[in-house]
Structure 1
């Protein structure tokens, strides 16, 4: 066997063990008994210790030095293994193991604190998580910027300076559009009533099927914070149910279907290699958001959904498909990021981006986080946070150590804007299919032009190859202004 063959065989086992760890995380957030938290933390710490040992195995360095890639795919695999090897080699085994243990425990503490509306029960644990992440960032940065070191785990090549500049370019048009909308007299009617859980879940499965979800390689479960998990032949989705708000369940299911479809759409030859997963969280989020918003919240699909909801719930109070389209896309000053309308969603991300940068840098202490969150939310949205679950406790990300993750949501929206423009040009009859509850033409275009490549290209290169244009916030902002000017008669 060649050095590259040895490298690939070793990496295959590492990827398989990583998938096992991911499955344990899925289990913890869905069906694990609540009393098993401490045991699961030790299990995940044990697996992380094994993974860290493999990721820093000296033989990797020897194989990488001796490997002679023969084509683009082998070259990229070698590059990604080398990237992971050099990163892992900077992290002490003690730190990697402790991070896995503490973040597993922290997740349960966060969930309990959220349920009890008690941030004081969570903040001491968050302090411990943040201390470990700052230690990790210092090891990775080697004297450079701590936040950039963490951001690079989720969006390779991105920097906080670039993202800050992007947000500065986006904010004025988003705020102006919101103010124009809120200044009009037109107000789409909200959906009220009682929508039983089992009926919502049946309809969520119908929506996921309409967006091409492969049930032979997936399943849907309930979670406090919806997510998707898995790759290759097993990628699962979750949703949550609020019996007064069926859109929460339905659009979470469509969103997570986008994530899972990306994983399931990757070229099967890349399984158990670094190419066999989404290249970045921004790229991943582009798929979930284009499924949920540009296709799922468009007039064509909501017309189909209106009839399905009317049938499922024996009638709803909004009997006109155009009115229903406006209801699905209502702009309101809500608290929750995952339930936010498209106009304000990125403003939620900007808030989190600024706060977590301050936490990582030490400019903001954990003990002052609740006050800082509430003050910033009031400033940005004009509404006072009414309870912690609607504020600092609403997201699980910091509890599990995902500092640097939040800005990739906004990057995903930008990428989705670029992809939507190209997709609509390539598939001019897409809305006719969506009106029949069939997203296949759009999904096939995304799979061919983006999803199948997995990690073969860097994030921006992937989007630019798919669209034939440079990445820019302009397509997203143009789309939002056109869509909501129409709905709100601006």
Structure 2
């Protein structure tokens, strides 16, 4: 066997073990007994110790020195393995293992603190994780910017300066549109009533099927914080249920189907290689956001969903399909990011981006985080946070150490805006299919032009190949202004 073949065989085992570790995380968030938290933390730490040892095996460096690429695909595999090897080699085994242990423990502590509205129960462990993440960032940065080193894990090649410039460009139009919408004379009516859990979950499965979810390779479960998990032939989704708000469940499900479809849509030849996963979290979020919003909240699809929900719940409080479309896109100054409308969602991300940058840099201490969050939220949204579960405790990301992840949500929205413009140009009769509850034309276009490539191309190159244009915030902002001006009759 050649050095390239030896390297690929070794990498295949790393990828398989990583998938096993991910499945342990899925189990913890869905069906694991609550009393098993400490045991699972030790199991996760042990798995990470094994994985870190393999990821830093000196033989990888030797194989990389000797391996020869026969084509561009081989060259990309070597590039990605080399990147992972260099990053892993900078992190001490002790640190990698302790991060796995602490973040596993922290998930349960966060969930309990959120349920009890008790940030004081969570902040001490968050501080421990922050110290570990600062140490990790310092090891990765090698004298460079700490936050950029963490961001690079989720959106390779992007810096916080670029993110900040993008947000500065987006904020004025988003804020102006929000003010116009909230001040409009016409306001869509809310959806009211009681919507039983079992009926919501049946509808969630119906929506997932409409978006092409492959039930032979996945499943739907309930979690505190919706997520998807897995790849290749096993990608699972979760949702959450609020019996007064079925949109929470249904659109969380569609969102996670977008993530899962990306993983399941990657060319099977890339399985168990670095090409067999989403290339970045921004690209990943582009799939979940376009499924959820541009497609799932379109007038065409909501018309189909209105009839399904009316039948399932024995009627709805809104009068007809047109009113339902407006209700599904209703803009309100709510607290929760995952429930935010398309206009305000990015403003939620900007808040988290600034706070976590300050945490990593040391400009903000964990003990001051609640006060800082509440002050920033009041300034940005004009509403005082009523309780911690609706404020600093609402997201699981910091509990599991995902510092640098949040800005990829906004990047995903920008990418989705570009993809949606290209999709509409390529599939002009898309609404006819969506009105029948068939998202197949959109799913097939996204799979062909983006999903199947996995990690074959860097994020920006992949998006440019798919859309034929430079990436810009303009398509997203134009789409939002057109859509919500019509809904609110501006």
Q: CA deviation at 1:317?
A: 1.5
Q: Distance in 1 between matches of 2:109 and 2:143?
A: 33
Alignment match, 2:148: 148
Q: Distance in 1 between matches of 2:376 and 2:26?
A: 32
Gaps of 5+ in 2: none
CA deviations over 1:233-274 (Å, ceiling 9, x no partner): 000000000000000000000000000000000000000000
Alignment match, 1:96: 96
CA deviations over 1:344-387 (Å, ceiling 9, x no partner): 00000000000000000000000000000000000000000000
Gaps of 5+ in 1: none
Q: CA deviation at 1:423?
A: 0.3
CA deviations over 1:46-104 (Å, ceiling 9, x no partner): 00000000000000000000000101111111110000000000000000000000000
- The question of 1:467 aligning with 2:450 is answered no
Q: Distance in 2 between matches of 1:126 and 1:185?
A: 44
Alignment match, 1:240: 240
- The question of 1:324 aligning with 2:321 is answered no
Q: Distance in 2 between matches of 1:252 and 1:183?
A: 28
Alignment match, 1:56: 56
Q: Distance in 2 between matches of 1:119 and 1:20?
A: 32
Alignment match, 1:421: 421
Alignment match, 2:16: 16
Alignment match, 1:315: 315
Moved more, 315-324 or 199-208: 315-324
Question: 3-state SS of the aligned residue for 2:35?
Answer: helix
Q: Distance in 1 between matches of 2:97 and 2:376?
A: 35
Matches within 5 A, 1:38-77: 38-77=38-77
Alignment match, 1:87: 87
Number of residue pairs the alignment of both structures matches: 490
Taking structure 2 as the reference length, the TM-score comes to 1.00
- The question of 1:458 aligning with 2:437 is answered no
Alignment match, 1:446: 446
Alignment match, 2:486: 486
Alignment match, 1:435: 435
Alignment match, 1:32: 32
Q: Distance in 2 between matches of 1:175 and 1:216?
A: 43
Q: CA deviation at 1:315?
A: 0.8
> Alpha carbon RMSD of aligned pairs, Å?
0.4
Q: CA deviation at 1:319?
A: 2.8
Question: 3-state SS of the aligned residue for 1:153?
Answer: helix
Question: 3-state SS of the aligned residue for 1:322?
Answer: helix
Q: Distance in 2 between matches of 1:243 and 1:460?
A: 40
Alignment match, 1:220: 220
CA deviations over 1:200-249 (Å, ceiling 9, x no partner): 00000000000000000000000000000000000000000000000000
Taking structure 1 as the reference length, the TM-score comes to 1.00
Matches within 5 A, 1:190-205: 190-205=190-205
Q: Distance in 2 between matches of 1:72 and 1:234?
A: 28
Q: CA deviation at 1:484?
A: 0.2
